Amino acid sequence: MPIKIAVNGAGGRMGKILIEAVSAADGAELAVAIERPDSSLIGSDAGELAGIGKIGVTVVGDIKQVVDQFDVLIDFTVPMSTVNNAQVCGAAGKAMVVGTTGFSPEQKAAFDSAVSNISICMASNFSTGVNLCFKLLDMAARVLGDDVDIEIYEAHHRHKVDAPSGTALSMGEVVADALGRDLSKVAVYGREGQTGARERDTIGFATVRGGDVVGDHTVSFMADGERVEITHKASSRMSFARGAARAAVWLTGQNAGRYDMQDVLGLK
């Protein structure tokens, strides 16, 4: 029997692609599509909204009305909505796949409390390629050690509201952990004016926003005489959506707990 999946933010750019990906995924069935209560899309057919034709799933505006109709909720929206949905899913014992980023400390605490008793797969990026990069970054940092300067570059479309991207921050955390550093103490998010010489322990972030860039990330390990760069470029959000659908199917066989895409792909 296929896993019944709900998609939050059905009318958004990512929501539409998630609907398409879930509808095409083996072992999965799109059972619920959710939008804001005041959305003009309420009552629409989710398949028509996503451009794949009518599938008989009507967009609703209240997760509480449909919480008994799905096994896993996929949420790639905004922190406030994700926290609210986590409280509903936590109370009902429903699993979650979460790609939302940009939580405030208060929102993160509320989210963590809400999902403490359910299985959840949470990642800054659900792309198979990006998660392979995480593995490669850990290896590179351990091999190159403290003999290199490390800088992280990321570029996204003009509509992205948080910076640096969650993926860039995750890359920084992977590198910092491998080197025994605390990212919150060594991260540099901007440079201007007379900054002085670069301190070796710092990890720099550069952010670019513009056009329709889906997502570019490069981590540079720079030494005297050579540098190593690990790059991932996304040309379609479908890579993220397919990963999320894969995670949702995988998650239903797991015990309650916190997982990420590294678990799903068996990279740990």
Whether the Cβ atoms of residue 204 and residue 168 lie closer than 8 Å to each other? no
The residues that bridge with 257 in the sheet, in sequence order, are: 119
List of E strands, the chain: 3-8, 28-34, 59-60, 72-75, 95-98, 119-122, 149-156, 187-188, 203-209, 215-223, 226-234, 257-259
Q: Mapping DSSP to helix (H, G, I), strand (E, B) and coil, where does residue 31 land?
A: strand
Catalytic residues: 156, 160
What six digits make up the tokens of 262? 């590294």
Task: Annotate 86-121 with three-state secondary structure.
Answer: HHHHHHHCCEEEECCCCCCHHHHHHHHHHCCCCEEE
At residue 258, what is the residue type?
Answer: R
106 φ/ψ angles, rounded to the nearest 5 degrees: -70, -40
* Residue 262 zone, left/alpha/beta (φ > 0; ψ -120 to 50; rest): alpha
